[in-house]
Amino acid sequence: MRTLILALPILLTACKKPIEYVEVTPDIPAQTLTPCPISDRQVKTVKDLAALATEHLRTAECANGKIRAIKDILEKESIK
């Protein structure tokens, strides 16, 4: 009787279907995955340096915006 009690749970769990995992890929817009433009301006004057710094700041803001957009998409997918 004790052997039956010990063997029965093993037999019942053996019939259970294996867990099937499905990989879900979030839909990220193609525009978000494009690189932000980086200036190749040659600095010859202080005015050029200021313009280059402004262009680099805009590039960093562009990249940070895309990172935030991807983060928002991934967070929405994890809530589902």
Distant-in-sequence contacts of 23-28, Cβ < 8 A, 24+ apart: 24/77, 26/73, 26/74, 26/76, 26/77, 27/73, 28/70, 28/73
Q: Could you identify the residue written with the tokens 């890929």?
A: 25
Does the residue 16 lie in any domain?
no
Does the residue 6 lie in any domain?
no
Does the residue 66 lie in any domain?
yes
Overall number of domains in the chain: 1
pTM across the whole model: 0.64
* Domain ranges, residue 66: 41-80
Q: Is 3 a residue whose pLDDT tops 80?
A: no
Does the residue 4 lie in any domain?
no
- pLDDT for 11-67, tens place per residue? 777 666 788 898 888 889 999 999 999 999 999 999 999 999 999 999 999 999 999
Q: Which of 36, 37, 61, 41 is nearest to 51 (CA)?
A: 41
